[in-house]
Amino acid sequence: MSGIEIFQMWLVAFLTLALFSFLYKDNPIYKLAEHIFAGLTTGYQVGLIWDTVVLQKLWDPMIYDDKWWLLIPGLLGILMFSRFTSRYSWLSRIPLAFVMGTTGGVFLTTQLHGLVLPAMKSTMIPLGGGGGFAEAILAVIVVVGVISTLIYFYFSKEHSGALGVTAKVGIWFIMVSFGAHFGYTVMGRVSLLIGRVQFLIEDWIGSFL
Amino acid sequence: MKTTAPVTIAFVAGVIMVISFFFNEETTFVGGLSQELLNWLIIIGGFTLLLGVVSITRVNWTAVTQKKEGWIYKVFTLLSILVMSLPSVLPSSWSPLLGREAGSIYDWLFTYMQAPMMATMFATLAFYIASAAYRAFRARSAEATLLLITAILVMLWRVPMGEAFLNLFPGDIPNLLNTYIMNGANLAVQRGIIIGAALGAASMSLRIILGIERTYMGKG
Amino acid sequence: MTIWEKLEQLDRRWIYLAVAIAVIIPFLVPAKFPISVSPEAQSFYDNVEALPDSSVVMLVFDYYPSTMAETEPMAIAGARHFFSKDCRIITLSNIPLGGPSMAEEVTRRIAAEYGKEYGIDYVNLGYKYGYVSVLKGMGLSIESIFPTDNSGTPLSELPMMDSVTNYEDVKFIFEVADNATADYWISIVNAGYGVPMGVGMTAVMAPKFYSFFGSNQIVGLLGGMKGAAEYEILINHEGSATRGMGAQSLVHLLIIALVLLGNIGFFASGKHRRRIGK
């Protein structure tokens, strides 16, 4: 292992342990690492956006491909910075409205076409589809679960009578799903810790054993 | 002007995008126009990210110049922003240390500082979730008990040791869990939430396009 | 003060210490348990296996460095699987923090293992802001969204991209994600252009995607580190996810024990009656 590789390894180990030290108690080393982390994270965006957006999508096409009309989004982008002034901050609404309108236009169709319709279509399954008794049971679970969940989240009418009973069924389904979600969340968080411990034991300690 | 112009722009841009969904992107005028607008969206969006960077820098700069509590740490934040960003915006043709490619300062800082620190920050959540599970995860009601039992079963099922334990019992519990919990009750609830959330997103989009929803403009 | 009350007021740092010990022990004393493969992971593998050799595929790095432990093993296993079938890989990212750098690092490393060449066998498009624009725009032309690759080389100078215009030329998309961008890949790209898609998700996101698997909007699902380990087993190349399963098991058992202990104390101390009484 070269000198620079050893330095890199120790640097990562130091930063990892510095951040873990917060678990015992807040301390200056943790605070220092935390603030450096915030700075690096902010700085990362600058290089990325400058290169991939400002140069590649705006400057180069305008200069080399004569796409002069890109001045419009360029100016709209610059208008975003009017937020730093109190007098002209309203100008930032214009690019913001463009972003909201365009994104809304895409969402209006894709959310319905790409999410709602396929979800509904795959819920409406024939019970006698040839899959046997177990599949029919599963199909019933899915239909009852989807409908009762939707009704549980329907707040425009008081949950009483038939609506109340269905909402009650809904909450039982939701509890099962959230339980599964909790189990998976524990798994995810533990995995992230394993990743750091793998580095500390296999890579860092392993390098000088 | 302060309200009409943004609402009109949102309406026109939104309607173009909705109409273009029904037309060929390659051969129709509206399809081509929608592609151009999407391109504009990337450019404007890039500036909004830079706006965030400027904002964070300003906040930290003010704290340092006014010597607010903990200002010394914020000096390191500002230095880190500078060290990460400045070499990355200079052309790599000047030096291999500049730009964003492998071997640059930017790439080195990301690989050996930023990425491991971000991974560690999130790794600490494992400790907090263990502590929270011990202190707050109680079978207070029938519903909470159901949630707790499902969580324990799923936690067992998703790890080899736990699965080996479940297999000690008859009836292929892991398979039943996958079929009736994950692909049954869980799938149904998630699908219900997806349908509800997507309908909500679509109706919110419609409200924005029609100018009914204007909260994104802020006050004034 | 009863033992249960004392236990309830236990300094949380003892719990942290127990977690730390449980996660370290399996690395010092490895114990192997068989790793079963779920039908969702098996379906993922089978669909990639069924791709014609040399197909163009997309490997999408939509995860932040924070979740690398879960997601990166999936991306690595995916790159290995694709290269072993001589597939040509396009990588890209919708994440403004780290995505392009991680794509660069992973693909270059795995490509070297398989003797693959940049520009011919794989291309890293990098990042562009705004997933809606990026995902929809590539439906017409990938080059219109990504005029250059991550290093600034024009796509026209990369031989692999000669035969790739838009999604019509892409046979499979492997979305590795830790956030909602995966939803948009499904609702915009799969629904709009019909490209088969498999997803590798963090465990936190995985339960939601069972719904998409059930509706055949995705053909495979890898959930969390266990999902990554399943994929590593399927491609017969053990990696960090498989090695992490011992620690994962022990910490799960510890947390289950903590939950049970907490509840025993809750009932033994009679607190459940007081709370219900209120």
| Shortest Cα distance, chain C CAs vs residue A30, angstroms | 17
pTM, rounded to two decimals = 0.92
As a whole number, mean pLDDT of residues A128-140 equals: 81
**For chain A, what percent of residues have pLDDT higher than 90?**
77
As a whole number, mean pLDDT of residues C32-50 equals: 94
Opening angle at CA C174, ends C172 and C176, nearest 5: 170
Of C68, C215, C247, the CB nearest to A119: C215
CA distance A122 to C217: 10
Render each residue's pLDDT in chain B as its tens digit; 220 residues. 788 999 999 999 999 999 998 888 778 888 889 989 999 999 999 999 999 999 999 999 999 999 999 999 999 999 999 999 999 999 989 999 998 888 899 999 999 999 999 999 999 999 999 999 998 888 889 999 999 999 999 999 999 999 999 999 998 999 999 999 999 999 999 999 999 999 999 999 999 999 998 888 876 4
Q: What share of chain A is helix, strand, coil (3-state, %, to 5)?
A: 85, 0, 15
pLDDT tens string C55-78:
999 999 999 999 999 999 999 999
- Between A193 and A130, whose confidence is greater? A193
- Between B130 and C276, whose confidence is greater? B130
Q: Give contacts of C261 with chain B, Cβ < 8 Å.
A: 134
Q: How does residue A133 score in pLDDT terms, banded at 50, 70 and 90?
A: confident
The neighbours of chain A, by the rule of 3 or more Cβ pairs under 8 Å, are B, C
Q: For residue B119, what are the CA distances in angstroms to B140, C16, C48?
A: 35, 18, 30
pLDDT of residue C126: 93
Residue C277 pLDDT > 60: no
Q: Give contacts of B117 with chain A, Cβ < 8 Å.
A: 15-16, 19, 33, 36-37, 40
pLDDT of residue C84: 96
As a whole number, mean pLDDT of residues A16-38 equals: 96
Residue C278 pLDDT > 50: no
What is the pLDDT of chain A when averaged over all its residues?
92
pLDDT of residue C165: 94
SS3 C223: strand
Mutate to test the interface with C, among B131, B150, B189 (most CBs of C within 10 A): B131
Q: Report the range of poorest mean pLDDT among A96-105, A200-209, C155-164, C166-175.
A: A200-209
Q: Give contacts of A190 with chain C, Cβ < 8 Å.
A: 23, 247-248, 251-252, 255
Single out the residue of C166, A9, A158 nearest to residue C155, CA to CA. C166
pLDDT of residue A128: 67
pLDDT tens string C173-211:
999 999 989 999 999 999 999 999 999 999 999 999 999
As a whole number, mean pLDDT of residues C217-224 equals: 96
As a whole number, mean pLDDT of residues C92-115 equals: 92
Residue A139 pLDDT > 70: yes
Q: For residue B35, what are the CA distances in angstroms to B16, C90, C135, C245?
A: 10, 22, 11, 46
Rg (CA), chain C: 22
Note which residues in 88-147 of chain A have CB less than 8 A from chain B: 89-90, 93-113, 115-116, 119-120, 122-123, 134, 138, 141-147
Q: Give contacts of C39 with chain B, Cβ < 8 Å.
A: 178
Q: Hey, what are A40's tokens?
A: 């690096």
Q: How does residue A159 score in pLDDT terms, banded at 50, 70 and 90?
A: confident
Of C148, C204, C244, the CB nearest to A188: C204
pLDDT tens string C77-88:
999 999 999 999
Q: For residue A153, which phi and psi values (nearest 5 degrees)?
A: -85, 5
Q: How many CB atoms lie within 10 A of CB B15?
A: 16
pLDDT tens string B59-106:
999 999 999 999 999 999 999 999 999 999 999 899 999 988 888 999
pLDDT of residue C151: 86
Q: What is the dihedral of CA A188, A189, A191, A196, to 10 degrees?
A: 150
Cβ(B90)–Cβ(B99) under 8 Å? yes
